[in-house]
Amino acid sequence: MLERLSKGTIPHKPHTALRGSSNELRYEECITRAGFDGPYTIAYHEHRPHEAEPVEAGHGWRIETGRPPRSLVRHHFKTFERRPRGGSALDARVPLLENDDLVLSVLAPDSEDPAYFVNADADELFFVRAGGGVLKTPLGELSFRSNDYLCLPKGLLHRFVPDAALNQDWLVIESHGAIGIPRQYRNEIGQLRMDAPYSHRDFRAPEFTGPSDEGIRKSVVKRGNVFFGFQHAHSPLDVVGWDGTYYPVAFSILDFAAKVGLVHLPPNVHATFALPGALVCSFVPRLLDFHPNAIACPYPHSSVDLDEVLYYARDNFTSRTGVGAGSISLHPAGIPHGPHPGAYEVSPGSSRTEELAVMLDCLRPLRVTAAALAISDPAYHHSFVDPGGSHSMG
């Protein structure tokens, strides 16, 4: 995703014979993006990687198509009040919001995946608000913990093993297009610029330890929102080496180096990941604007092209009250939004915020699923009306 890595045993040139210690031939798998024009990784398997036979899928989450909003209002989805589905990451996902570019879901897995999973529909960006564990892939194992983003490229076989001792609370964005680093953070040779809000050192790649066999022979592939099962004759984690730029990464939101200004900077200075039709921003603990009269709180605004989603990792946020860790707010385009009553007024003189939140700005209107409506706080839209404000007729 960021730089070319090379792990394990690979031949000097691609598409030439690689042999094991008994002269057995290894098998290439070229994982390519954008046809054959985009990023790619070449992995070398002990066995032919394309022999799996179709079986019943038996796993997967309930795909729910959202509906256009019945009214143009702001929402607060209390994800912490939902009835947990539990189960593995492969089964526990609950979609809440979706449009033609992406699906946003939450999940609280309490067991490890019983099968390998390939999402052939989407890149996936997880945010682990609470919990942690290990992501197992043929390219190696990637450990993750609370406050990590986990960027999992489309089509890569994997299995989540959450830490059983921890409560898990994850957000996931499935993007039909590639999730990547915003273009403005790279120099002309692709390196992260010195003024980017993170460096190459902040991104963790899988630890490669060679082939392994967990005894699992089943995989589930999601394509076109349908789950398909496959039976493998050998462990799919049979890669002896790989080389390329296509692999999962982890990045802690706490490593995001926020920028602050003399006066309030627009939220896109917190841009962290870009995807077609959407931008993911990270709001992290930081000093606030330092002009003596600065209003260190987002101003009311009409961002006329964007539906704005905020996922709160902590229960405090500069401009909002009444939200808790795990809350998700949706402020749709078409109506202005801004701080809760009192937040704007008390902000001059504030010097620091401890907020921690993930924002998703979407170009296409979001549809709300029945699961989301079931945990929507009906009082939220009205909570922005100041009961003692100048508009009051009382």
Q: Looking at this protein, which amino acid is placed at residue 63?
A: I
Tabulate helix, strand, coil % of the chain (nearest 5): 5, 35, 55
Q: Which stretch binds Fe ion (CB under 5 A): 116-124, 183-191, 289-297, 301-309?
A: 301-309
Q: How far apart are CA 148 and CA 252, in angstroms?
A: 4
Closest approach of Fe ion to the CB of residue 73, in Å: 15
Taking only Cα atoms into account, the Rg of the chain, rounded to an integer number of angstroms, comes to 23
53: its two tokens: 């036979």
Closest approach of Fe ion to the CB of residue 46, in Å: 51
* C-alpha distance from residue 129 to each of 152, 198, 222, 232 (Å): 17, 20, 25, 34
3: its two tokens: 């730089």
Closest approach of Fe ion to the CB of residue 82, in Å: 25
Closest approach of Fe ion to the CB of residue 319, in Å: 8
Closest approach of Fe ion to the CB of residue 267, in Å: 6
Cα 390 to the center of its chain, rounded Å: 41
Residue with tokens 């031939």: 25
Please work out the total of residues on this chain that contact Fe ion, with binding judged by CB under 5 A.
1
In the region spanning residues 349 to 378, those forming contacts with Fe ion, defined by CB under 5 A, are none
237: its two tokens: 């984690």
What is the dihedral angle through the alpha carbons of 33, 44, 1, 106, rounded to the nearest 10 degrees? 80
Closest approach of Fe ion to the CB of residue 337, in Å: 6
Q: Are strands 116-119 and 218-223 parallel, antiparallel or unpaired?
A: parallel
Tell me whether residue 26 or residue 270 sits nearer to Fe ion (CB atom). Answer: 270
In the region spanning residues 192 to 231, those forming contacts with Fe ion, defined by CB under 5 A, are none
Q: Which stretch binds Fe ion (CB under 5 A): 20-28, 165-173, 270-278, 302-310?
A: 302-310
Tell me whether residue 55 or residue 343 sits nearer to Fe ion (CB atom). Answer: 343
In the region spanning residues 234 to 273, those forming contacts with Fe ion, defined by CB under 5 A, are none
Q: Looking at this protein, which amino acid is placed at residue 384?
A: F
Q: Which stretch binds Fe ion (CB under 5 A): 92-100, 300-308, 340-348, 362-370?
A: 300-308
Tell me whether residue 357 or residue 371 sits nearer to Fe ion (CB atom). Answer: 357
Cα 244 to the center of its chain, rounded Å: 22
Tell me whether residue 160 or residue 317 sits nearer to Fe ion (CB atom). Answer: 317
Tell me whether residue 153 or residue 298 sits nearer to Fe ion (CB atom). Answer: 298
Closest approach of Fe ion to the CB of residue 308, in Å: 5
In the region spanning residues 304 to 333, those forming contacts with Fe ion, defined by CB under 5 A, are 308
Give the start-end residues of each E strand in 138-285: 140-145, 148-152, 159-162, 169-175, 203-204, 218-223, 226-231, 239-244, 249-252, 271-275, 278-283
Q: Is 100 helix (H, G, I), strand (E, B) or coil?
A: coil
Closest approach of Fe ion to the CB of residue 301, in Å: 6
Tell me whether residue 194 or residue 304 sits nearer to Fe ion (CB atom). Answer: 304
Tell me whether residue 62 or residue 259 sits nearer to Fe ion (CB atom). Answer: 259
Closest approach of Fe ion to the CB of residue 257, in Å: 22
Tell me whether residue 46 or residue 308 sits nearer to Fe ion (CB atom). Answer: 308
Closest approach of Fe ion to the CB of residue 106, in Å: 21
Tell me whether residue 43 or residue 284 sits nearer to Fe ion (CB atom). Answer: 284
Cβ-closest position to Fe ion: 308
Q: Across-strand partners of 230?
A: 54, 219
Tell me whether residue 359 or residue 371 sits nearer to Fe ion (CB atom). Answer: 359
Give the distance between the most distant pair of CA atoms in the chain: 88
Give yes or no for a contact between 321 and 343, defined as CB atoms under 8 angstroms apart: yes
Q: How far apart are CA 282 and CA 256, in angstroms?
A: 7
Q: How far apart are CA 19 and CA 16, in angstroms?
A: 10
List interacting residues with Fe ion (CB under 5 A): 308
